[in-house]
Amino acid sequence: MKEGIINPESPHSILGFARGMTKGITNVLFLFNSFLQVNILPSFGFLFDIDGVLVRGKTPIPSAKTAFQKLVNSQGQFLVPVVFVTNAGNCLRQKKADQLSHLLGISQNQVMMSHSPLRMFKRYHEKCVLVSGQGPLLDIAQDLGFCQPITIETLREKHPLLDVVDHERRPNVLVSIYFSVVLFGEPVRWETNLQLIIDVLLTSGYPGNPYHHENYPHIPVLACNMDLMWVAEAQSPRFGHGTFMVCLENIYKKITGKDLKYEALMGKPSKVTYQYAEYLIRAQAAERRWKQPIQTLYAVGDNLMTDVYGANLYNHNSWENELASAAAAHCRSVLVCTGVYNPHTEVPLDTRESITEAVFHGHRDFRFDPGLVEPDHIVPDVDAAVDLVFQLENFAPN
């Protein structure tokens, strides 16, 4: 460069200074525009399945811990509203929250069991109900608001002549009692539960009396958890409560020639379950004083017939009760490959190429529609699911 000639690119020159200022302002404007496009408050919520997504039996799935680290801030507070929606029904929700503590500290208000919507069925809370399942059934029923729950074991003690499949358990004496029936989950002794529930249904709640087939429709039956199968540590899926319900329905129809009727079906994929979960999502957002309305729910699960079906069904329903106000506009399904759905091939890039099962594993009262078991997204695991949703929502919390 010749001496005495000013370099216009030099930051010390007037022209160079002006160009530098212009470039700086441009960068600031770019960053400002980028900031405006990034969401720092959530307008969405997560509905996480547990078995097959976060754990297999009691063993955590490795990607779950990584996913959770992205969902909380340095104080351990969730960055978005999250509800853990399980079809399990054999424990109190506090215990299920405690079981997840190895992944992250969560409150029982974030856990939704298959039986949680029973809190809304207050017209049955004062009635004497027969409860079927396993675990602390009386505690679960009372926690939900039922004042007079009676277990199958108590019924068996009051009506010992009714349970005779096991010849070594036959005693004497009969009494009569009125019941409604609540099916919480699969029992341990299927033959006892099937026999005594049929007795109650065919005698209008007086199992010491003879059968009367004309008593139809039968007394109310409320059922939770329709999963035909579920995944634990075994390599293949195991029988779920849905399998028990198939047995009960077919025995009833074989005896009476009529269909077993349900007053309500709860647990995924029922609409009341997703509606109640959405209500819990909104309650969390309100508690954190997030003003942004919740527009979209992301249901992350491993089962086409429950998680995906239920999310799609949510979008086809109009809500008509007290939980309907300000309902989320959409529910999107994200299918993970760590549980019931576990293709041994590379995850397809186009979800339309996913395989729709020819055999419908859903409950008898739900219609089979190939569109309802088509996931919006397929990802390898829950960590990838969180990444995907944050990307779709352009979400970057403080």
Tens digits of residue pLDDT in 211-239: 987 888 999 999 999 988 887 778 888 89
Are domains 44-114+268-392 and 118-266 of this chain identical in fold?
A: yes
322: number of Cβ within 10 Å = 8
Beta strands in the chain (DSSP E): 44-48, 55-56, 59-60, 82-85, 111-112, 128-132, 148-151, 180-183, 221-224, 229-230, 238-239, 264-266, 296-301, 330-336, 377-379
Tokens 């088509």 -> residue: 374
Tens digits of residue pLDDT in 279-301: 999 999 999 999 889 999 999 99
Length of the chain equals 398
Class at the top of the CATH hierarchy for domain 118-266: alpha beta
Give strand pairing partners of 333: 299
Q: Has domain 44-114+268-392 been given CATH number 3.40.50.1000?
A: yes
pLDDT of residue 32: 44
List the chain domain ranges: 44-114+268-392, 118-266
Long-range contacts of 248-254 (CB under 8 A, 24+ apart): 248/183, 248/194, 248/197, 248/198, 249/364, 251/194, 251/198, 252/198, 252/201
pLDDT of residue 360: 80
Q: How confident is the model at residue 241 (pLDDT cuts 50, 70, 90)?
A: very high
pLDDT of residue 294: 92
Tokens 């527009």 -> residue: 295
With contact defined as beta carbons under 8 Å apart, do 40 and 291 qualify? no
Averaged pLDDT for residues 9-22: 48
| Cα of 95 vs its chain's centroid, Å | 16
Q: What are phi and psi of 58, to 5 degrees?
A: -105, 5
* pTM for the full predicted model: 0.79
| CA–CA dist 195, 237 (Å, integer) | 26
What are the structure tokens assigned to 250, written together?
A: 């077919």
- Residue 48: name the closest of 386, 342, 367, 320 by CA: 386
Tokens 């999250």 -> residue: 82
pLDDT of residue 22: 47
